[in-house]
């Protein structure tokens, strides 16, 4: 798909009373000016630099946004779940009575994925990733663990779990296999956590806390906290806690409104922004003093969107997003969907892995439709200076609420504020505290201007 850039001059925007931003919204070239320094030539210097690198940056952004570059597949080995979180994007009937994959079925899927990558013209520089996702994949623990052993030379594996069924020996196995593990914890307040992360036993909190101790210091662990109006209050303490458990990556994800009933959990933009930035400030404060960094992955990814756009890792804040482009998901029934978030939207199903080829799904009209959802098609985003930093997530959210993909994010104001804050941290040279320590040892710059 050809993405047409506007070819405008640099846009000017005051981040606050002291700082002015110059930005090319198409390729995210940016410059920050300290207005108090009264350097009359600063704007000119930045404009000249932007002009010099424009063609390269345009091309790099075009390539990054238009590539179909699948490197990961999410598999739901079961459609069922032992929890009942009110914000889950998987329909309740599926979680209650969906099917499990059998051993032969999972082997068939993994072989088919392996053959797809072997036959692909684009050779990956690393092993493709298979992530067992949910519903709750550990309901079929034996099935997925044996597949991890069997296919360890073919894939890097990940497991996203609510941790309820994790036992100490499982943690040992996952570490030994270098499996990436994501677990969920919404609050340090047990009542709050077990309200949004419900299970029949009501012990989700206790299980998650116990598992965090078992994983302490494991580099492959990430923790997701889903931000709702119920858990904003304790975020700085939660950041401290995650740091004390040496969690490698911590994600603070605003709840996705992929079903109307979830709307009641949505925090107000202002309150969400305040709480989120409070958590970021705490993370910077801790990381400054400690030899271990606490990385808020989704915020660091926003910063990457500014300082190194094509190095972004999480693919939700790119337009088009990573769904149906960098990854796709497979349900336990074998249906191929652009991303797990689309599981309740059957109109985006693109064939079944047991009958259809992966290539056919990738070039189906359903997947193409997701790839054609770009910020330039959204009226408000088309004129926003930050359109290629936030990427207007998420298409599943837009479609669920409006039956239209081309609608801005329900968190638009939140994104604007956190991007402004990201620019402030860049100006204050604090972003090094938001990335892994070793990451900055040999950073190369395409260009670097520091005036005055």
Binding residues for other proteins restricted to 19-38, rule: CB under 8 A: 29-34, 37
N-term to C-term CA, the chain: 42
Site for other proteins contains 68 (CB under 8 A): no
| For other proteins, the closer CB: 175 or 233 | 175
- Positions 307 through 336 that interact with other proteins (CB under 8 A): 307-308, 310-316, 321-323, 326-327
Site for other proteins contains 129 (CB under 8 A): yes
| For other proteins, the closer CB: 153 or 448 | 448
How does DSSP classify residue 335?
B
How does DSSP classify residue 296?
B
CB of residue 1 vs other proteins: minimum separation in angstroms?
Answer: 18
Alpha-carbon distances of 319 from 159, 182, 271, rounded to whole Å: 26, 25, 26
Which one among 77, 220, 305, 320 touches other proteins, defined by CB under 8 A?
Answer: 220
CB of residue 443 vs other proteins: minimum separation in angstroms?
Answer: 6
Which one among 138, 143, 211, 339 touches other proteins, defined by CB under 8 A?
Answer: 339
Q: How far apart are CA 378 and CA 373, in angstroms?
A: 9
Q: How far apart are CA 47 and CA 38, in angstroms?
A: 17
CB 157 within 8 A of CB 180: yes
Which one among 15, 131, 163, 280 touches other proteins, defined by CB under 8 A?
Answer: 131
Site for other proteins contains 57 (CB under 8 A): yes
Task: Name the residue among 277, 370, 418 with its Cα closest to residue 1.
Answer: 370
Site for other proteins contains 49 (CB under 8 A): yes
Site for other proteins contains 248 (CB under 8 A): yes
| For other proteins, the closer CB: 37 or 403 | 37
x/- map, 163-202, other proteins, by CB under 8 A: ---------------xxxxx--------------------
| For other proteins, the closer CB: 263 or 443 | 443
Task: Name the residue among 295, 304, 297 with its Cα closest to residue 433.
Answer: 295
| For other proteins, the closer CB: 312 or 369 | 312
Site for other proteins contains 17 (CB under 8 A): no
Rounded to a whole number, what is the largest CA-CA distance in the chain? Answer: 70
Site for other proteins contains 156 (CB under 8 A): yes
Q: What does 239-276 look like in DSSP terms, one character per residue? A: HHHHHHTT-SEEEEEEPP--SGGGGGGPPPHHHHHHHH
CB of residue 216 vs other proteins: minimum separation in angstroms?
Answer: 15
CB 353 within 8 A of CB 330: yes
Who contacts 176 (Cβ-Cβ below 8 Å, separation ≥6)?
none
Site for other proteins contains 77 (CB under 8 A): no
- Positions 271 through 290 that interact with other proteins (CB under 8 A): none
Size of the chain, expressed as the number of residues it contains:
452
Q: How far apart are CA 263 and CA 423, in angstroms?
A: 30
| For other proteins, the closer CB: 248 or 267 | 248
CB 443 within 8 A of CB 431: no
């Amino acid at each position: 798909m050809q993405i047409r850039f506007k070819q405008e001059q640099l846009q000017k925007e005051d981040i606050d009373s002291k700082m002015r931003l110059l930005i090319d919204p198409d390729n995210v070239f940016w410059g920050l000016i300290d207005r108090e320094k009264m350097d009359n030539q600063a704007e000119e210097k930045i404009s000249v630099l932007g002009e010099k690198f424009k063609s390269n940056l345009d091309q790099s952004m075009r390539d990054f946004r238009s590539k179909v570059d699948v490197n990961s597949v999410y598999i739901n080995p079961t459609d069922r779940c032992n929890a009942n979180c009110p914000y889950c994007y998987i329909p309740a009937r599926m979680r209650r009575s969906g099917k499990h994959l059998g051993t032969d079925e999972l082997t068939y899927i993994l072989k088919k994925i392996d053959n797809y990558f072997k036959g692909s013209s684009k050779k990956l520089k690393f092993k493709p990733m298979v992530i067992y996702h949910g519903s709750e994949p550990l309901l079929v623990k034996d099935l997925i663990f044996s597949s991890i052993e069997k296919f360890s030379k073919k894939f890097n594996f990940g497991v996203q779990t609510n941790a309820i069924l994790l036992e100490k020996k499982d943690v040992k196995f996952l570490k030994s296999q270098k499996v990436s593990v994501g677990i969920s914890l919404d609050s340090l307040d047990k009542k709050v956590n077990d309200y949004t992360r419900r299970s029949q036993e009501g012990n989700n909190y206790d299980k998650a806390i116990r598992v965090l101790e078992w994983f302490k210091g494991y580099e492959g662990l990430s923790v997701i906290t889903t931000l709702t109006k119920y858990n904003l209050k304790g975020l700085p303490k939660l950041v401290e806690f995650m740091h004390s458990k040496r969690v490698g990556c911590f994600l603070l994800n605003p709840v996705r409104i992929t079903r109307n009933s979830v709307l009641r959990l949505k925090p107000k933009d202002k309150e969400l922004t305040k709480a989120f930035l409070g958590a970021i400030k705490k993370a910077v404060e801790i990381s400054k003093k400690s030899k271990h960094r606490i990385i808020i992955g989704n915020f660091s990814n926003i910063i990457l969107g500014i300082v190194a756009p094509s190095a972004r890792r999480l693919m939700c804040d790119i337009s088009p997003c990573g769904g149906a482009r960098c990854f796709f998901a497979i349900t336990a029934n074998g249906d191929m969907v652009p991303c797990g978030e689309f599981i309740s939207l059957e109109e985006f199903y693109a064939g079944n892995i047991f009958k259809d080829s992966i290539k056919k799904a990738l070039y189906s009209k359903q997947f193409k439709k997701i790839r054609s959802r770009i910020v330039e098609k959204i009226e408000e985003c088309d004129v926003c200076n930050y359109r290629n930093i936030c990427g207007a997530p998420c298409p599943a959210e837009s479609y669920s609420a409006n039956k239209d993909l081309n609608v801005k994010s329900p968190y638009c104001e939140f994104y604007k504020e956190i991007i402004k804050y990201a620019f402030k941290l860049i100006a204050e040279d604090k972003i090094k505290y938001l990335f892994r320590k070793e990451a900055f040892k040999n950073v190369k710059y395409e260009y670097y201007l520091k005036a005055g």
